[in-house]
Amino acid sequence: MAARLNAALPPGTLEACREQGHAAVADLPLQADSLETLMAGIGPLVFTPGERPLSGSRFVFEVTNRGRVAPPRSVFHSDTSYVAAPPSFTALAAIEIPASGGETVFVNQFDALDAAPASLRTALVGVEFLHVASRVADPAAAGEGAWHPVLRRHPDVDRVALYVSARERLIAARRHGEPLDEAQARELIPGRQTCRCTGAPVHRHVWRPGDLLLTDNRSTLHAADHSAVDGVRTLYRVMVAGEVPVAG
């Protein structure tokens, strides 16, 4: 399937992504340059500090299992949450699709918070977690991390989401600007990690050639299921700049 040079998103794609946290577009084959051009039409592009872009590109990151002896490890996360203004949207374009397996899995964090007991939301008012980088090529370039509210209001949708990421990226907690001691943080962070996937349905995207998948990082966690991959799985990733998270 030949890549499209002047691709465009179908009408309503971004709106659907904002509302449900992700959106898939079929039969839109893209390569690095056309993917960058497409996403730059949504907003300024950003790249993950500490990672290395695809050769010849500024903003494309290659996600692949090619050449790996052991399957990659992926857990539910929000992309590049450890910067002051994390990316709003992530786009993944299918480049090489395995014969089976390798699905991308989503959990909507609006739904996760809505399903949580009222006491939890009360307990999280004013709470922030410190997000730091993990498993990047150059940790020194990734920075020292960023504090973000656990209850995050979406700037385009009048809803509040549970804003967390991979457990290894959350290292400290504070409430109304006052640091919580290590014991309090150890109790609070794992509990929110459990809540992130409790009560919210899990959605799976089965990749096909020519697929483009959008994720709204402000309200959705995603992961790759590498448990039963048969063949090479390569995706190109591009991210659109976001805003400083605001507490909900």
Distance CA 49, CA 138 (A): 8
CATH number of 20-248: 3.60.130.10
Nearest to residue 192, comparing CAs of 224, 161, 146?
A: 161
Q: Residue 89 belongs to what H/E stretch?
A: strand 89-96
Torsion of CA 13, 199, 110, 72, to 10 degrees: -60
The C-alpha angle with vertex 187 and arms to 183 and 193, in degrees rounded to 5, equals: 140
> Which letter does DSSP use for residue 77 in this model?
B
Predicted confidence at residue 5, as pLDDT, reads 47
Running DSSP on this structure, what letter comes out for residue 140?
G
Whether the CB-CB separation of 200 and 186 falls below 8 Å is answered with no
- Residue linked to tokens 């857990």: 75
User: How confident is the prediction along the chain (248 residues), in pLDDT tens digits per residue?
Assistant: 545 445 789 999 999 999 999 999 999 999 999 999 999 999 999 999 999 999 999 999 999 999 888 877 888 999 999 999 999 999 999 999 999 999 999 999 999 999 888 888 888 999 999 999 999 999 999 999 999 999 999 999 989 999 999 999 999 999 999 999 888 887 777 665 556 656 577 899 999 999 999 999 999 999 999 888 999 999 999 999 999 999 99
Give the number of other CB atoms < 10 A from CB of residue 55.
8
List the beta bridge partners of residue 160: 153
> Which residue, 3, 232, 42, 67, is CA-closest to 156?
42
Q: Residue 170 forms beta bridges with which residues?
A: 131
Could you state, in order of their start, the residue ranges of all structural domains in the chain?
Answer: 20-248
Contact predicate 2/27, CB 8 Å:
no
Planar angle of CA 30, 31, 35, nearest 5 degrees: 65
* pLDDT for residue 42: 95
Identity of residue 212: L
Q: Provide the 3-class DSSP secondary structure of residue 146.
A: strand
Read off the pTM: 0.93
